[in-house]
Chains A and B, each alone.
Chain A
Amino acid sequence: MSIYVDIKKSMGAFSLSAEFEAGNEIMGLLGSSGCGKSMTLKCIAGIMTPDEGRIVLNGRVLFDSDKNINLMPQERKTGYLFQNYALFPHMTVAENIAVGIHGSKEAKKELVREKISSFYLSGLESRYPAQISGGQQQRVALARIFASEPDIIMLDEPFSALDSHLKWQIELETVKALEKYTGTILFVSHNRDEVYRLCKRIAVIEHGHMESIHDKSEMFASPNTLAASKLTGCKNHSKAKKIGEHELYAIDWDCSLKSEAVVPDDLKYVGIRAHYLVMNVGENIENQLKCRVERVIDDTFSMMVLVTSNNSPNVKEEIVWQIDKELWQEICRNGLPEELSLIMPADKLLLLR
């Protein structure tokens, strides 16, 4: 079971180009809102038509602009979980599940009964979608998809409309349900944590362009593009250029930095995660940046300290420093410090192309 996608579609402000292959796995498509992730799924499902390209699912050609092949959504056998679940409000839970089943009345009944029990929906058969909870609605939507026996399952931001306390519960349930499926699953989200938990491989999409496909641990440890770095949650980025084998100049921060890793020739940006910054209390060492505090934000479990470089007065680029609350209180015991010296550890710099 596999899917191959290579499509292009003009989307007004930019054009979407996506190329990837996925096997029996959960693959994540990570990107900010409006970047073309959902459009990619819709093109696979046949709800939207790409301008050109090719889509092959389990050896079946779903779309091929050169050969003029464009199967109807009905013929594609794709399961699509919509953000709002798209349950038919005028049909009961059982009727919703039965919609995608083809075959005799008896076979339908049997399959519906089986899905009702395997998705823990017993007792809700004759309820309407508006009468059940959000989590139950999502189980109905998944049961309906499973009952239609799709060759691929696509999840389009299934958790983004939920409250955070509900979200966790529903995510756990979804993972459990998806374990029963052996084919390809594509998971679209703008939330890095969700993608990280659910998927093994992640493709990053930025402005309609599919940048790179990574193994998730590799991507979070060492993202290699600005978009990937931002999506993995890194808050501090600066334009940069290479000045030596292990040395680079950060333009926006106006400082030169040593890097433990070899600096690539086509370096464009450097990044550092907010929690990797350390305060220097001792003597002068490399990679240190004199800065002043602009603003302090009290976050849930830590402090976010926004600083600007003191190296040159023109630099306005704020750097976010995430620090433990108690440590920050310690630092501020004698009032807010005039100047801080932060170290960007040479082994923690993200070198981005």
Chain B
Amino acid sequence: MDLAPLFISIKTALLATVITFFLGLYAAFWVIKLERWQGLIDGLFTLPLVLPPTVVGFFLLIVLGKNSFIGKFLNQFDVSIVFSWEATVIASTVVAFPLMYRTARGAFEQIDYNLISAARTLGMSERKIFWRIILPLSWSGVAAGTILAFARALGEFGATIMLAGNIPGKTQTMATAIYSTVQAGKRDDAYLWSGIIIVISFVVMILMNYWSKAQKKAKTTSNER
């Protein structure tokens, strides 16, 4: 049996998680500081979470396709995004992004604003404040967002199949492989891929729960004198 979908899925989900991690953090940090248009931009960033993934995939196809501005530009360098492995990463990133963005934003907003004001009056640069104050203080929320983003990226189907297709050995992930196997009547393979996805997602979630419990425990003990 060909294990390519497993490796493609893991590779895609990991890379998409890394990109989402930084994009989501940056977007969350940027949005909470906005004084105008906050609601609008927040809505825009959250949209991929509530839209059918096929709609997201369709829009990505329009924006990145051969006839689009970006597609034409990339074509000059013989690069085509549609139906490439990179397309799976882009699709997963866009769909996982809102989860990272929203959890990070929630975690940032929990921080006592006086701490950030104090850091500013003490002369810390905005970059230092982000890496040394905001991120450590919102770490458990950020980690939760990262794990959710990873799980979502791993299970991404709709946008992927629209933008990257379902090419075995190239863009076929576990999620799209299940679709093919069921269509081809290979029930056993469908069971196998479904099982693998369930196990990975479940293990990741359980690890997250244990980890956040351990974090809470560490926090309460450090509060005791």
Binding site for B on A (CB under 8 A): 42, 45-47, 72-74, 76-80, 82, 84, 86, 88-90, 99-100, 102, 128, 130-133, 144-145, 148, 150
Q: Distance (Å) between the CB of B220 and the closest chain A CB?
A: 10
Q: Distance (Å) between the CB of A79 and the closest chain B CB?
A: 7
Contact A130 B125 (CB under 8 A): no
Contact B114 A100 (CB under 8 A): no
Q: Bound complex: CA of A78 vs CA of B118, how far in Å? A: 10
Contact B120 A99 (CB under 8 A): no
Contact A74 B120 (CB under 8 A): yes
Contact B137 A73 (CB under 8 A): no
Q: Bound complex: CA of A232 vs CA of B225, how far in Å? A: 39
Q: Bound complex: CA of A275 vs CA of B72, how far in Å? A: 88
Q: Bound complex: CA of A89 vs CA of B220, how far in Å? A: 12
Q: Distance (Å) between the CB of B122 and the closest chain A CB?
A: 4
Contact B225 A131 (CB under 8 A): yes
Query: Which residue of A42, A79, A88, A145 contacts B133 across the interface (Cβ within 8 Å)?
Result: A88
Contact with A along B113-139 (1 / 0, CB 8 A): 011011111111100000011001100
The answer to the question of B223 belonging to the interface, with a C-beta cut-off of 8 Å to chain A, is: yes
Q: Bound complex: CA of A42 vs CA of B121, how far in Å? A: 10
Given contacts A100-B123, A131-B222, A144-B122, contact A73 B114 (CB under 8 A): no
Closest to A89 in B: B137
Show 24 residue pairs from A and B whose CB-CB distance is below 8 angstroms, ordered by the A residue: A45-B117, A46-B120, A46-B121, A47-B120, A47-B121, A73-B117, A74-B124, A76-B121, A77-B123, A79-B121, A80-B117, A80-B118, A80-B121, A86-B114, A86-B115, A86-B117, A89-B137, A90-B136, A99-B132, A100-B122, A128-B222, A130-B223, A131-B224, A150-B121
Contact B118 A74 (CB under 8 A): no
Closest to B118 in A: A86
Q: Distance (Å) between the CB of B196 and the closest chain A CB?
A: 38
Q: CB-CB < 8 A to A79: which residues of B?
A: 121
Q: CB-CB < 8 A to B223: which residues of A?
A: 130-131
Q: Bound complex: CA of A336 vs CA of B35, how far in Å? A: 63
